[in-house]
């Protein structure tokens, strides 16, 4: 591996480090938002990754056993 590729890998690895508690806060926010629409079964799964271009890829997965009826905007 050449030095430039190694440096890039190190910088991306450093960028991928999230502040302490970040994923847990994101999971909580996602669960609060999703629980307004779905009957969630357990906790959501949150994955934050950085691709080779330095772009963050965020994946949120949750299981639900039902959907709540939609409210009209003025309710």
**Is residue 25 pLDDT above 80, yes or no?**
yes
**Is residue 26 pLDDT above 90, yes or no?**
yes
More confident residue, 17 or 68: 68
Structure confidence at residue 33 (pLDDT): 94
70-74, long-range: CB < 8 A, 24+ apart: none
What does pTM read for this prediction? 0.70
If pLDDT is split at 50, 70 and 90, which confidence band does 42 have? Answer: very high
Q: Rounded to whole angstroms, how far apart are CA atoms 40 and 31?
A: 8
Secondary structure (3-state) at 3: helix
Find the helix or strand (DSSP H, E) in which 47 lies.
strand 45-50
What mean pLDDT is predicted for residues 42-60? 88
């Amino acid at each position: 591996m050449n030095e430039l590729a190694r440096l890039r890998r190190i910088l991306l690895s450093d960028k991928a480090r999230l502040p302490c508690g970040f994923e847990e806060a994101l999971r909580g926010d996602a669960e609060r938002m999703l629980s307004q629409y779905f009957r969630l079964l357990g906790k959501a799964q949150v994955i934050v990754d950085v691709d080779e271009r330095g772009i963050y890829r965020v994946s949120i997965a949750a299981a639900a056993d039902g959907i709540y009826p939609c409210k009209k905007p003025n309710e």
